[in-house]
Amino acid sequence: MNGYSFGVFAPGFKNASRAPYTCGLNILKCHTEAYRLYEQKYKETQQGRVGITLDYGFSEPKDPQNPDDQAASQRVMEFKVTV
């Protein structure tokens, strides 16, 4: 979601306070719509399963021996997982 907070990727928004949450919500809404479509039109004949995989990246401390860097890395991971 770097395109929705830091402007690094498309669509290039720089709104770290709200845009990532809106993007996440839209991802879940789209997944719900896709699942419902599959459930209504194809599940009976295909007997498939639908799931979702979310990528949240990974963060390592700049200096693994520095407690402040470790804490910062942990905060990044917790934030990315809960978005």
Q: Provide the domain count of the chain.
A: 2
Regarding whether 2 and 40 lie in a shared domain, the answer is: yes
- Asked if residues 61 and 2 have their Cβ atoms less than 8 Å apart, the reply is no
Regarding whether 58 and 81 lie in a shared domain, the answer is: yes
What sign does the dihedral 21-25-26-28 (CA atoms) show? positive
Regarding whether 43 and 3 lie in a shared domain, the answer is: yes
Mean pLDDT, the chain cut into blocks of 10 residues (83 residues total): 68 73 87 95 94 79 94 86 60
Domain extent at residue 73: 53-83
Regarding whether 39 and 65 lie in a shared domain, the answer is: no
- Asked if residues 1 and 20 have their Cβ atoms less than 8 Å apart, the reply is yes
Quote the pTM value.
Answer: 0.55
